[in-house]
Amino acid sequence: MPPTRLRPPNVNAAQWTANGDALGAVDLTARANQIYGANVFSPAEQRSRLPKDVYKRLQQTLDNGKPLDEALADSVAAAMKDWALEKGATHYTHWFQPLTGLTAEKHDSFYAPTGDGTALAEFSGGELIQGEPDASSFPTGGIRATFEARGYTAWDPSSPAFILENPNGALLCIPTAFASWTGEALDQKIPLLRSMDALSKSAVRALRLFGDEQTQRVYTTVGPEQEYFLVDEQYFYERPDLINTGRTLFGAKPPKGHELDDHYFGSIPERILAYMLESERELQKLGVPVKTRHNEVAPNQYELAPIFENSNVSSDHQQLTMQVLQNVARRYGLVCLMHEKPFAGVNGSGKHNNWSMGTDTGSNLLEPGADPATNIRFLFFCAAVIAAVNKHQALLRASVANAGQDHRLGANEAPPAIISIFLGAELEKAFGSIASGDGDGSTERGVLGLGTPVLPPLPMHGGDRNRTSPFAFTGNKFEFRALGSSMSLAFPNTVLNTIAAEAIDALAEDLENALKAGATLEDAVGQVVKQAYSQNKQVCFMGDNYSEEWHAEAEARGLLNLRTTPDALPWVVDDQTVSVFGNYGVLSERELESRYEVFLEQYVTKLNIEAETAASIARTMILPAAVRHLNEVKASGIEDLVAEVRPVVEELAGSLRALEAVNRDHPADCSTLEHAEYMRDTVIPAMNDVRAIADGLERLVADDLWPRPKYEEMLFIK
C-alpha cells in the first residue's frame, strides 16, 4: 500500500542538518570578530573618514536639528561612497517607508561612463541629500492623482546609512523621508520626526520649570518586542492562503495547541536556534541592538527584542528586523510569518512598543526612582501620559488598526480594543494619595524569600505586571502592547509623541500659573498632578482586561470599545485629532485624510484578497477532495457514512456559492468607509461560514485525499 500524502513531506520537513557555513565557533573577544555595526556608516566610521572640522559640523547639525549645507553634504557623500565601495557596494538607494507599511528602494549605480570607454565612481552631496523616485504608484489617499508622478526622497542624517549584503554584491542604503512634489508627507518617517520635535519642545519647556537649564533636547525611545511564526517552506508553498494572504484561511484545530504551556520559554530547537543566531548576526552588523530571544506561547512562535533606541532609528531598525528575519529564514528552509493571526485557535503575534522619554543629558523622564511618591518630576510626566491616553484613547486604538489586528484585539489573547492604563500597585497608591490628599503615598520595598538558604533573597517590585493591559507601566516606560506583528512602529509612535506633547504643554501651563500665584515648585506640581489624575483616572484599570465585566465597567467609565478597524479608523480624521496634529505641525488635515483613505483602502483590499483566495481554495481544492471522499464512501456501501458526509458536502457547496456572490456584488458608488463596513459585515461572515464547514470536513475526509498541510504538521514539525 503506498504511503499517505502526509508522511513523506513530514519526514522531509523534519530532516534538517546544520549547513555549517553560517557562524562557526569564533573567539568573540578578538577585535576582528566584533561585528556590531560593521555595515553601518556610524559616527565612529564618520569620525575616522571625515576631516575633523567636517565631522564636528555634521554632529552639530544633527544635535541642533539644523539643515545641511551642500559643501558639508559633498564631504559626507565622498566619505560614504568610499566606505561603501570598500564594502563591495556598486549601487546606492534612498531607502524610504511609503504608506504601504513596507520599505521601498530604487537602486542607482555609483558608476558613470567618462567618454573614453571607462567609468568613474561618483556620488555627490546633491545625490545624497535628494532623490526623485516615481511617486505615482505609492498610496497617497488622494493627495496626488495617478498622473502626478513627481515625488522626492530627502536624506535623514539622524538615521545612519547601512550596507545590505547579497551573495552577489552589496547595496548602500540611505534612510530618507518621502514627500510629494507639493511638500506633503507620503511616508511614515516625516510625521514621526515632526512628532519627536514637537514632544522635545514641550518637554524642554516643562523641564525649565523644574530648574533644568542643561537639557536641550528630549528624545522618545522605543524598544519593540517582535513576535513571529516559522513554518517549513514546503508547507508554506503548499498553502495558497499563506502565499497570498500571510495567514491560513482554513485549518481545523489540531488535537494539541498550546494548552500544556510547554512551548513558552521552552528549549529552542536546534534548527530554530541556528536561524536565530544567523539573524542576530546579520542584525548586529546593521547596528540593530538585538538583546532577547525566546519561544513564545504558541507552537512555532518566537520573539526577538532589541535594546531601546530613539523612536526614529528604532522604527527604521524594526523595518530592517522584519526584512532580515524573513530573508534569513529561507536559508534554513523556513518561512517567517509576520501576520497578526496566521493560525486560528492559537495565539497571534504582536509587537510590544516599549516607549519612554529621555533627555540628551542621559536622564529617563519616566524613571520613578526609589520612591515615586516623592519624585515630582516623574509624577508630572507620568500624569501627562495618563491625561494624553485618556483624551486620545480612540486615536491610539486607530493607530494600531488593520485587518490582521481584528483577529487579536477583540480576543482573549492580546490586549483588547478598549485602551486603558495599568499603573501597578505602587504608582496607583502614589497617585491615589495625591488625588485624595490623604495617607502616605510611598510603598515600602519588600524582599522575596524563597525558603532555602541556597537561593538568594530577591527584592520585590512595588507592583505586579499585567499582561492583559494594552498600555502598561513596566518600571521606567510604558508598554503599548496593542501593536500588530506586521506593523511599522512609525504611526503609533507619531500618535504617542504628539498627544504626549499636547498633555505636557497643558500641564506645564497649569504649573506656570501655580508658580506665578506664589506656590512652591513642590506644591505647584502636587496641585497639577492631583488635578490631572483626578480628571483622567478613569482610564487606569488594574484588573483583567479580558473579562466581560470589564467591558461593562469600561463603558460606564466612558471608555470606548472599538472592536474592528472600520470602528476605529474614523478617529484618524476626528476633529480632536485634526486639532492636535495641526497645532503641533505633525500632520495637516489633508495629510491625515490621506492616511485615513489609505488605511481603509488597505483594509478593503486585503480582505478582498482573502475572500477571493478562500473561494478559490474551497472551489478547486477542498470541494473536489470532499466529493472524492463522498464517492469512496458511496462505493463502500456504508449508508451511515454517506448520510454523515453528503449533507456537509452540500452545505459547503451552498456556502461557497454565497461567498462567491458577495465577492462579486461589492457595493458601487459608496464611500471607502462604507465599503470597509461591507467587507466586515458581509464578506467576512461569508468567509467564516465556508471555513467552519471546510474545517469540519477536514476531520471527515480521508487523510490521503486532503489537499493541504494541516495545522498539526505546520505547527509542530520544526
Burial of 399 (0-12, 13-18, 19+ CB in 10 A): buried
CA 604 to chain centre: 20
Answer for the pair 222, 311: CB distance below 8 angstroms, yes or no. yes
Residue with cell 557555513: 21
Distance (Å) of CA 270 to CA 14, 15, 274, 420, 641:
12, 12, 6, 40, 44
Grid cell locating 545: 482586561
Answer for the pair 105, 173: CB distance below 8 angstroms, yes or no. yes
Which residues of the chain register pLDDT less than 70?
A: 1-8, 19-25, 27-28, 64-67, 114-120, 135, 145-149, 410-412, 439-465
Specify the domain boundaries for CATH 3.30.590.10 within the chain: 195-445+457-587
Other beta carbons less than 10 A from residue 500's beta carbon:
26
Fold for the domain defined by 601-714: Four Helix Bundle (Hemerythrin (Met), subunit A) (1.20.120)
Choosing among 3.40.50.720, 3.40.50.150, 3.50.50.60, 3.10.20.70, the CATH entry for 36-187 is 3.10.20.70
Q: Which pLDDT value is given to residue 24?
A: 60
The CA distance from 553 to 561, in Å, is 11
Residue with cell 545624497: 128
Buried b (16+ CB within 10 A) or exposed e, 152-169: bbbbbbbbbbbbbeeeee
β-sheet bridge partners, residue 271? none
Residue with cell 506561547: 297
Q: Which pLDDT value is given to residue 111?
A: 85
**pTM score above 0.85:** yes
Please report, to the nearest 10 degrees, the dihedral formed by the alpha carbons of residues 315, 576, 186, 247 taken in order.
Answer: 60
Q: Which pLDDT value is given to residue 1?
A: 35
Grid cell locating 216: 536641550
Please name the helix (run of DSSP H) or strand (run of DSSP E) that holds residue 631, with its range, or none.
helix 623-636
Answer for the pair 352, 466: CB distance below 8 angstroms, yes or no. no
Domain 195-445+457-587 has CATH 2.60.120.560: no
pLDDT digits (tens, 9 = 90+) for 194-217: 999 999 999 999 999 999 999 999
- Strands (DSSP E) contained in 465-514 are 471-473, 478-480
pLDDT digits (tens, 9 = 90+) for 358-368: 999 999 999 99
Closest CA to 705 of 226, 204, 4: 4
Please report, to the nearest 10 degrees, the dihedral formed by the alpha carbons of residues 571, 565, 414, 458 taken in order.
Answer: -20
Q: Which pLDDT value is given to residue 40?
A: 96
Closest CA to 358 of 463, 244, 240, 476: 476
Bridging pattern class, strands 119-121 and 111-113: antiparallel
Residue with cell 526577538: 304
Give the chain's count of helices (H) and strands (E).
24, 19
- Strands (DSSP E) contained in 344-470 are 351-359, 421-422, 447-448, 458-459
The CA distance from 175 to 158, in Å, is 9
Residue with cell 558613470: 112
DSSP state of 147: T
Specify the domain boundaries for CATH 1.20.120.1560 within the chain: 601-714
Please name the helix (run of DSSP H) or strand (run of DSSP E) that holds residue 524, with its range, or none.
helix 521-536
Grid cell locating 224: 519593540
Grid cell locating 375: 519624585
Specify the domain boundaries for CATH 3.10.20.70 within the chain: 36-187
